[in-house]
Amino acid sequence: MQKIFIDAGCWNGISTKLFFADKLPIKSEGFIAYGIDPLKKYEIELRELEKQYPFTFINQAAWTYDGEVEFGEYPYTESSSIKKEKFNFQSAKVYNVPCFDFSKWIEQFRDDYVFLKMNIEGAEVDILEKMIDDGTIGIIDYMLWEDHHNKLDKKHTQRIERIKNKLPFEYYPYIRVPL
């Protein structure tokens, strides 16, 4: 059995750095890590992390299918998302990015201990709903999740509450801590 840390929405690698500095709730010893993010602007930093840690960077969006998805970067913040309702897409830089079916991908870790940190700007809901439906949610042993309950509409918040009630484990809100 392997120990796997998945940093979905790894951005510039800060959560992975926090994990390997043992600043997250689970100690990093013996873990293999994966960072997932479609942003290109941090690719050099994240490739450097591959040299420092047992870490693999996946420069794609975690999503509910394999292929491409529309992605928006808001020009005045560090925020980006595949959720159109999160931004005023008229002012966002919008382009297609490769994406992969997260629930299908995570199946490879069925017999492992999996610690998932998920902060993908609202897209968590779609992915977690699919994982609940197809049963892959049971692969996760521990999860830190920024659910973005206050950044989208009321329907999104209701979906979050339904997910929380169906998780087979206790989830913990994701809050960044300084290095």
Per-residue pLDDT of the chain (179 residues; tens, 9 = 90+): 999 999 999 989 999 999 999 988 889 999 999 999 998 888 999 999 999 999 999 999 999 999 999 887 776 666 666 656 655 556 678 889 999 999 999 999 999 999 999 988 778 889 999 999 999 999 999 988 776 555 566 776 788 788 888 888 776 665 544 44
All structural domains of the chain, each given as residue ranges with its CATH number in brackets, are 3-67+103-173 (3.40.50.720)
Provide, for the chain, the percentages of residues in helix, strand and coil under a 3-state DSSP scheme, each rounded to the nearest 5: 30, 25, 40
**CA–CA gap between residue 34 and residue 31 (Å, rounded):** 10
The predicted pLDDT at position 151 comes to: 58
The predicted pLDDT at position 22 comes to: 92
Handedness of CA 70, 79, 128, 63 (dihedral sign): positive
Work out the burial of residue 57: count CB atoms within 10 Å of its CB; fewer than 13 is exposed, 13-18 middle, 19 or more buried. buried
The predicted pLDDT at position 179 comes to: 41
Are 34 and 60 a contacting pair, CB within 8 Å?
Answer: no
3-state secondary structure of 157: helix
Rounded to 5°, the CA angle 97-98-99 comes to: 115
